[in-house]
Amino acid sequence: MCDKRLATSYLLFPAVRFGRVPKRPPKEISDADTSDSEEKQEVSSTTSPEPSKVEINQLIQMVYEAHEQFSAMTVKRRRILSENPIQFILTETPSLSNQLHAWEIYTERVTPDIHKTVEFAKRVPGFPLLHSGDQQALIKSSFFRIFLMRTYRGISSRGLLLADGTMLPSSFLTIIFENFYYHSKIEVDRIQDMLVSALKMKLSEEFPDSVVYDLLMSKISYLRELATHHDKIHDVLRYNLDSVKIPALYSEIYYLEQSCEPHSGRISEVGS
């Protein structure tokens, strides 16, 4: 039953992405609406009757069957899955090379689920009929959320258990997702500490016995949130790079040719 509810929730993603087109009453359909054959088809597709309960149940059943066939972690699979801890040497002071090596392992282990997600999407009624660009955009924009839904049974305080039995411990995941490591992290931290100290001294001179410095530092997390939101807005460009002309420098600074977050990772989390 839990799997069926989970499978049903997959139906939300296309709706959330594109929204639902409201139906117009017949009296609002003018001659202009029916003058073109393509427009006729569009009106027909958006004004079709509400599906019956039987049709909805059939839809749910089809999605459920696709989920059972291609999900990474169903109840049945979880019961028979044996854990195999990942072979990875954790250093006391993680470096950029250490982080990149961890990414190589992680992406290699997770990539098979991308194929399964695509196969699952092909079984969702109506999805294969969408424009290929829309199919790709939906899968790319929703993949991480779908991945979490498909693997949540393998998520615990110990780490992440993948469908093939690979156990990625929390310490391993922390290297990947918690920080961005630089080639010269010590120098980066030194420069940052020096600038922060100078700022603190100047503010204390201008505003003695004030909380201005603390208030200023508390705003850093909000800036990160804005940066993340700003980066996501660029997804429309990442999905349509072949159809839009963007200056090379702008594309480079915002990683438009890569579906990844900008270098907004923490250096030493000042004021967080």
What is the chain's pLDDT, residue by residue, as a tens digit (272 residues)? 555 555 545 554 444 443 333 344 444 444 444 444 444 444 445 556 777 888 888 888 888 888 888 876 777 777 777 788 887 877 777 777 788 888 888 888 888 888 888 888 888 888 888 888 888 888 877 777 777 777 778 888 888 888 788 888 888 888 877 666 666 667 777 787 888 888 888 888 888 878 888 888 888 888 888 888 888 888 878 888 888 888 888 888 778 887 544 444 433 344 44
Residue 127 contacts residue 110 (beta carbons within 8 Å)? no
At 116 the pLDDT is: 85
- Estimate the crossing angle of helix 2-9 against helix 53-70, to 10 degrees: 100
At 248 the pLDDT is: 85
Task: Say yes or no: 119 and 77 in one domain.
Answer: yes
Question: CB burial class (10 A; 0-12, 13-18, 19+) of residue 271?
Answer: middle
Task: Say yes or no: 148 and 204 in one domain.
Answer: no
Nearest-10 Cα torsion for 105, 234, 244, 37:
100
Of residues 272, 265, 259, the one with CA closest to residue 114: 259
Residue 10 contacts residue 124 (beta carbons within 8 Å)? yes
At 19 the pLDDT is: 38
Strands 155-156 and 84-85: unpaired
Structure tokens at 99: 């982080």
Of residues 118, 113, 117, the one with CA closest to residue 164: 113
Instruction: List the domain range (segments joined by +) for residue 214.
Output: 185-253
Question: CB burial class (10 A; 0-12, 13-18, 19+) of residue 10?
Answer: buried
The one-letter amino acid at 138: L
DSSP label at residue 130: S
Report the CATH number that the domain containing residue 89 is assigned in CATH. Answer: 1.10.565.10
Task: Say yes or no: 8 and 136 in one domain.
Answer: yes
The answer as to whether 32 is a domain residue is no
Task: Say yes or no: 6 and 117 in one domain.
Answer: yes
Establish how many alpha carbons lie within 13 A of residue 18's alpha carbon, considering only the half-sphere containing its beta carbon: 13
The answer as to whether 258 is a domain residue is no
Q: Considering its fold, how many domains does the chain have in total? A: 2
Q: What is the pTM of this model?
A: 0.57
In the block, tokens 């940066």 appear at 227
Task: Say yes or no: 15 and 124 in one domain.
Answer: yes
Task: Say yes or no: 116 and 232 in one domain.
Answer: no
Task: Say yes or no: 47 and 165 in one domain.
Answer: yes
The answer as to whether 35 is a domain residue is no
How far apart CA 176 and CA 100 sit, in angstroms, is: 8
At 269 the pLDDT is: 40
